[in-house]
Chains A and B, each alone.
Chain A
Amino acid sequence: MIDTNVYLSRWPFRRLEGDEPAQLVAKLREGKVVQAWAGSFEGILERDVAGVNNRLAETCHSFGEGMLIPFGTVNPKLPDWQEDVRRCHEEHKMPGIRLHPNYHGYKLDDSVFAELLKLATALGLIVQLALSMEDPRTQSPLMRVPAVELVALTSAVKGTPGLRLELLNCTAQIGREEYAAALATGDVSMDISMVEGVAGVARLVRQVPLSRLLFGSYYPFFYFESAVLKIEESGLDEVSQKAICVENARRLMPRT
C-alpha cells in the first residue's frame, strides 16, 4: 500500500501518537504501507522553511529504510521562495512539494500560485495541495483557518501543461461539483483521507475517475485505521482497491 498523505514533526496544538518518526514508521508498517509521502507540520507555521525541509529530508533518510518520501514545504509568500523549490529538487532530490495556501495566506487566483505551479512542473515535481488541516468547528479560537477555496484552481491547472497535482484533505466543506470540476481539468488527483459518508469511497468512485483516487491516511493527525476502514466499508472490487491503494500512486510517481 502507498500512503500519499502522512505528516512528520509536531502538530502545534496537540501531541499525537505517531508524531515521533520511529513510532510513525512502525504504525505504517503494521498497516502494510510500503511507501509514505511525507510532509511536515512544521512547514505550516514556521517561516524558515529551508530549515524545515532540511529536517524533513534528514528524518526521511534516517527512518523507515526508504519508506518515507519527503515532500518539501514551499511558501510562495516568503522572499526567495524559488530557492526552496530548487533545494527540494536538486539538493534533497524530493519528488514533490506540499502546499498549504490557507495557512500561508494566498488564494489560488494569486499570480504567485500560478508561477509556483509552473516552476514545480518545469522541474518535474509533483504538487500536493492541502485543502484543509482541521475541521474549522474544532480549531483554536486563536487560529481559525478556513479551507482553501477551490474555484480558481481550474484556470491555474489549465495554465500549467504537464502539472501533476494531488489534492489532500478533501474536506466536505468543498462541494462535490467543485472536486469533479478540478479533477476534470488536468492530471489532478485526490486522496481519501477526509472522504465521509457511509460507503463514501464507493460513492466517489462513481463520481470521479477511479484513476484519480489515491490512498491517504492523514496520519498521525487522523487515526491511520480510518482510511483503511473506508476502503473496507466501501466494498470495492479488487481492481478498484489496487488502483486506489497502489497503482494510481505508482502512475503519479513512477520512478521510486
Chain B
Amino acid sequence: MKTLGAGGALALANAGARDNRGLGGDMRIWDQHAHLGSVPGDTPEERMGFLVKCMDRVGVERLILSQGYSDDRHPNPPEQFRLENDRVMRAVKAFPDRAYGSVYITPALPEFSLQELNRCVRDGPMVMIGEIEAEARCNVPGMDPIAEWAVANDVLVLQHEWLKAGGNEPTESTPFDVVELARRHPRLHIVCAHTGGNWELGIRTIRATKNVYCGLAGSDPTNGYVEMAVRELGAERVIFGSDVGGRSFASQLAKVEGAAISNSDKQLILGGNLRRLLTPVLRKKGYKI
C-alpha cells in the first residue's frame, strides 16, 4: 500500500504513465491494425468511441481501421464486404483525427476488389488495403491485380498470415505466401500482419525480402519478439499494430515498450515507419501526417 500511495502502480495507471516508462512525451503511436469486432457498441460510431477512450488511456494517437465487425470471417457475396467497408468509413468519419480507414477485399473476387479499391481508396477516404484475410491465400493469381493497383497508387497492403503449429486453415496465408507475392511485385510494400505468430520463424521467412514488413499484431506479448525483429530486419521494417478488439492495445504495445531497444527504434516502430509508408497517399488526399 505504501508503494501505491507513493505513486507506484496507480501512478502507472494514470495519464502520463508513458513518461514513467521512459518513452518520453513525444512518442506518437499509430496502430496499423485495428478492427471494430469484439468492441462494445451497437453502431460503428459507438464502437469507435469506445476505442478512442481506450486509445487515450494508453497513448495511441491514431489507428488504421479495417474489416468492420461481422462475425462472418468469409464474407460472400460481395455486398458483405461493402457493408463492412461502409461501417469502417462511418467510424472514421465520426473520429477523423483518430482513425484512417483501410479497405477490406479478397483476391478470391479480383474484379469486385478492384471496384472496391476505387470506391473506397481512389474515390473515397481510405488510405490503405487490408487486412486481407478472407477466402484465398495471398499467393493466388487473383492477388496480382490488387498488388498492381497498390503499386500504381502508392498504397500499403496489410496481409493476414499465420504459421500455426497445428497447421493453417486451407485458405489462410503464411509468411511464405507473402514473400512469394512480394517477389512477384518488388515495388509493393506489404506488411505481414502477424509475422507468422511464430515470430522466430516468420522473421526468418521475410528477412531477405526487403519489401515485406514485420507486423507485430495479434499474438501473445512474448519476450524477445521485437528485439529479434530489430536485430534481423532493422527497426525500419517493424510496424506496431494491436489487432483490437480481439486483442488489447496493452499486450501489443508492451512488445515495443518492454523491448530492450533504443528509443529511436521504438519511435520508428510505434508510428514513424507507418507514417513514412503512408505519406504518399496521405499527401495525395491532403490528410494530416
Which A residues contact B (CB, under 8 angstroms)?
1, 14-18, 31-32, 34, 134-141, 144, 194-200, 215, 219-236, 238, 241-242, 245-247
- What string of 1s and 0s marks CB contacts (under 8 Å) between B122-164 and chain A? 0000000000000000000000000000000000000000101
Tell me whether A222 and B246 are in contact in the complex, defined as CB-CB below 8 angstroms, given that A137-B164, A229-B58 are known contacts: no
Which B residues contact A (CB, under 8 angstroms)?
1, 3-4, 8-14, 17, 21, 38-39, 50-51, 53-54, 57-58, 162, 164-166, 197-198, 200, 219-224, 227, 244-251, 253-255, 257-260
**B196 nearest in chain A by CB position:** A138
**A13 nearest in chain B by CB position:** B200
Cα(A234)–Cα(B222), bound, Å: 21
Which residues of the other chain, A, contact B10 by a CB distance below 8 angstroms? 238, 241-242, 245
Which residues of the other chain, B, contact A1 by a CB distance below 8 angstroms? 3-4, 8-9
Cα(A76)–Cα(B75), bound, Å: 49
Which residues of the other chain, A, contact B251 by a CB distance below 8 angstroms? 196, 222, 226, 229-230
Say whether A233 contacts B54, CB under 8 Å. Answer: yes
**A19 nearest in chain B by CB position:** B223
Say whether B250 contacts A229, CB under 8 Å. Answer: yes
Tell me whether A228 and B39 are in contact in the complex, defined as CB-CB below 8 angstroms, given that A17-B260, A246-B4 are known contacts: no
Say whether B38 contacts A225, CB under 8 Å. Answer: no
Question: What is the predominant secondary structure among interface residues of chain A facing chain B?
Answer: loop
Say whether B222 contacts A230, CB under 8 Å. Answer: no
Say whether B248 contacts A17, CB under 8 Å. Answer: no
Say whether B12 contacts A228, CB under 8 Å. Answer: yes
Say whether A198 contacts B39, CB under 8 Å. Answer: yes
Say whether B9 contacts A198, CB under 8 Å. Answer: no
Most buried by A among B200, B221, B255: B221
Cα(A197)–Cα(B8), bound, Å: 25
**B59 nearest in chain A by CB position:** A232
Sorted nearest first, the 7 A-B pairs with minimum C-beta distance are A223-B258, A32-B8, A229-B250, A226-B254, A225-B254, A1-B9, A225-B258
Say whether B258 contacts A232, CB under 8 Å. Answer: no
